[in-house]
């Protein structure tokens, strides 16, 4: 048992912050320039720094990943059905609807937890306008198979890469894949700007289309050819990003050490399955999900309750399935028989706390609880 009196609660994550002294020079620049938003100098500087860090050529900063997904779908003129994963945060399907399209849920692969290309294939219709997969917890999708389907059908492949910051597969940034990729810089993410995100495209024209859409559809002062939204990143958020970016590799390394300790101590535990890392992937260790099967002594919810009694709050990501939410359950693809793997995963998964300053004594206790939950 941990000493609860003297300890703050442990949540699944704890936002990383740069040293406040690292932010102040940027704030001074904002105060002296009086440029607060609309693609100001700090946003431009962060754009270049992120393009360099991620190894991408065309990056547009946005106010959050959700507005980025809406702009990406709208920029590609996606109308009709978008095949996506039910095993995601609700923002994925919300953005499809808010962009004026219709989500179609296809089942996931139980090992990668990502859209299963064979299931995508099954849901293709003459109305399919795009595929929008999610790299769940930064675990790469089967890009080759998804790209083959998208190319064959001549439709865009738009990655919800909210979790994928800094992940590389075969040396290539995951954010460089697909017709475009959208990343989140939300407070809970590996790299955060409090709120924020980026859309990564592959040419100047697509980048300009996204940037017009996140600026109300304005082309220039007297020309507003389409309806847009306000999805711009402010200078304050860009300042946090610039101060944060130099720490990100260290943050990923610290997360890796915590993940390695979980893996070493928990692998082989009866009834507990780890999401298997692939040797050609440089992960960001955004989450540490475990899946429990029926041979584990407790149900997933009982395990969570046991931890919560000690002030430790793991998260049941992603539960419930998006397709079970009231806004989506009427879709024919939300039918439970269509999504057996996603349902099984959603009912058995729990993400254990992982963040750079997770105290070692707390991680030890989490491991002890998972190993001996009834003691």
Q: Which two tokens stand for residue 157?
A: 């492949």
CB 64 within 8 A of CB 155: no
Q: Which is nearer to ligand PLP, 72 or 358 (CB)?
A: 72
Stretch that binds ligand PLP, among 47-55, 59-67, 101-109, 216-224 (CB under 6 A): 59-67
**Rounded CA gap, 313 and 155, in Å?**
41
In sequence order, what are the residues at sequence separation of 6 or more whose Cβ sits closer than 8 angstroms to the Cβ of residue 375?
none
Stretch that binds ligand PLP, among 61-69, 75-83, 147-155, 275-283 (CB under 6 A): 61-69
* Binding residues for ligand PLP restricted to 1-30, rule: CB under 6 A: none
**Rounded CA gap, 201 and 77, in Å?**
14
**Nearest distance, CB of residue 92 and ligand PLP, angstroms:** 5
Classify residue 374 by burial, with Cβ atoms within 10 Å: 0-12, 13-18, 19+: exposed
Sheet holding 81-84: strands in order across? 102-105, 81-84, 128-132
Applying CB under 6 A, what is the total number of residues that bind ligand PLP? 14
**Nearest distance, CB of residue 1 and ligand PLP, angstroms:** 32
Closest CA to 275 of 352, 162, 200: 352
Residue 65 found at the interface with ligand PLP (CB under 6 A) = yes
Stretch that binds ligand PLP, among 62-70, 138-146, 306-314, 323-331 (CB under 6 A): 62-70
**Nearest distance, CB of residue 305 and ligand PLP, angstroms:** 24
Q: Which is nearer to ligand PLP, 93 or 259 (CB)?
A: 93
Residue 351 found at the interface with ligand PLP (CB under 6 A) = no
Q: Which is nearer to ligand PLP, 10 or 88 (CB)?
A: 88
Given candidates 91, 150, 213, 251, which one binds ligand PLP under the rule CB under 6 A?
A: 91
**Rounded CA gap, 286 and 167, in Å?**
10
Closest CA to 60 of 165, 198, 159, 197: 198
Distances (CA, A) of 307 to 14, 223, 286, 355: 17, 57, 20, 17
Q: Which is nearer to ligand PLP, 47 or 369 (CB)?
A: 47
Stretch that binds ligand PLP, among 76-84, 122-130, 159-167, 211-219 (CB under 6 A): 159-167
Residue 323 found at the interface with ligand PLP (CB under 6 A) = no
* Binding residues for ligand PLP restricted to 96-155, rule: CB under 6 A: 134
How many other CB atoms are found less than 10 A from the CB of residue 337? 6
* Binding residues for ligand PLP restricted to 191-210, rule: CB under 6 A: 197
Q: Which is nearer to ligand PLP, 353 or 365 (CB)?
A: 353
**Nearest distance, CB of residue 210 and ligand PLP, angstroms:** 15
Cα angle 224, 227, 228 (rounded to 5 degrees) comes to 95
Greatest alpha-carbon pair distance for the chain in Å reads 70
Given candidates 186, 212, 237, 255, which one binds ligand PLP under the rule CB under 6 A?
A: 186
- Going by the DSSP 8-state scheme, the letter that residue 220 receives in this structure is B
Residue 58 found at the interface with ligand PLP (CB under 6 A) = no
Given candidates 84, 92, 173, 254, which one binds ligand PLP under the rule CB under 6 A?
A: 92
Q: Which is nearer to ligand PLP, 184 or 363 (CB)?
A: 184
Q: Which of helix, strand or coil describes residue 151?
A: helix
Residue 175 found at the interface with ligand PLP (CB under 6 A) = no
**Rounded CA gap, 186 and 197, in Å?**
7
**Nearest distance, CB of residue 214 and ligand PLP, angstroms:** 13
Helix (H) or strand (E) holding 52: helix 41-54
Q: Which residues bind ligand PLP (CB under 6 A)?
A: 64-66, 88-89, 91-92, 134, 160, 162-163, 184, 186, 197
């Amino acid at each position: 048992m941990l000493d609860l009196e003297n300890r703050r609660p442990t949540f699944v994550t704890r936002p990383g912050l740069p040293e406040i002294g690292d932010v102040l020079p940027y704030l001074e620049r904002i105060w002296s320039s009086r440029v607060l938003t609309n693609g100001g100098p700090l946003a431009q500087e962060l754009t270049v720094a992120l393009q360099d860090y991620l190894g991408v050529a065309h990056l547009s900063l946005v106010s959050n990943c959700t507005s980025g997904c809406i702009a990406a779908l709208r920029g590609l003129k996606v109308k009709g059905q978008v095949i996506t994963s039910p095993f995601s945060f609700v923002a994925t399907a919300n953005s499809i609807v808010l962009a004026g399209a219709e989500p179609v849920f296809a089942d996931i692969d139980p090992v990668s937890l990502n859209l299963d290309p064979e299931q995508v294939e099954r849901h293709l219709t003459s109305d399919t306008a795009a595929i929008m997969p999610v790299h769940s917890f930064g675990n790469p999708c089967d890009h080759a198979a998804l790209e083959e389907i998208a190319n064959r059908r001549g439709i865009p492949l738009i990655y919800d890469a909210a979790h994928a910051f800094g992940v590389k597969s075969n040396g290539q940034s995951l954010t460089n894949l697909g017709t475009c990729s959208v990343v989140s810089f939300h407070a809970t993410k590996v790299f955060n700007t409090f709120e924020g995100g980026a859309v990564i495209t592959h040419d100047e024209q697509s980048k300009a289309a996204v940037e017009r859409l996140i600026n109300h559809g304005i082309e220039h002062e007297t020309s507003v050819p389409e309806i847009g939204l306000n999805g711009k990143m402010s200078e304050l958020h860009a300042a946090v990003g610039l101060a944060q970016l130099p720490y990100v590799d260290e943050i990923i390394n610290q997360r890796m050490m915590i993940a390695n300790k979980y893996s070493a101590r928990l692998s082989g535990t009866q009834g507990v399955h780890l999401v298997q890392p692939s040797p050609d992937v440089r992960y960001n260790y955004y989450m540490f999900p475990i899946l429990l099967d029926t041979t584990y002594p407790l149900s997933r919810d009982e395990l969570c309750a046991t931890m919560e009694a000690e002030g430790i709050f793991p998260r049941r990501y992603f539960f419930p399935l998006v397709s079970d939410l009231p806004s989506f359950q009427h879709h024919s693809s939300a039918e439970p028989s269509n999504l057996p793997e996603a349902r099984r995963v959603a009912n058995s998964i729990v993400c254990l706390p992982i963040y750079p300053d997770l105290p070692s004594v707390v991680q030890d206790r989490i491991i002890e609880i998972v190993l001996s939950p009834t003691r």
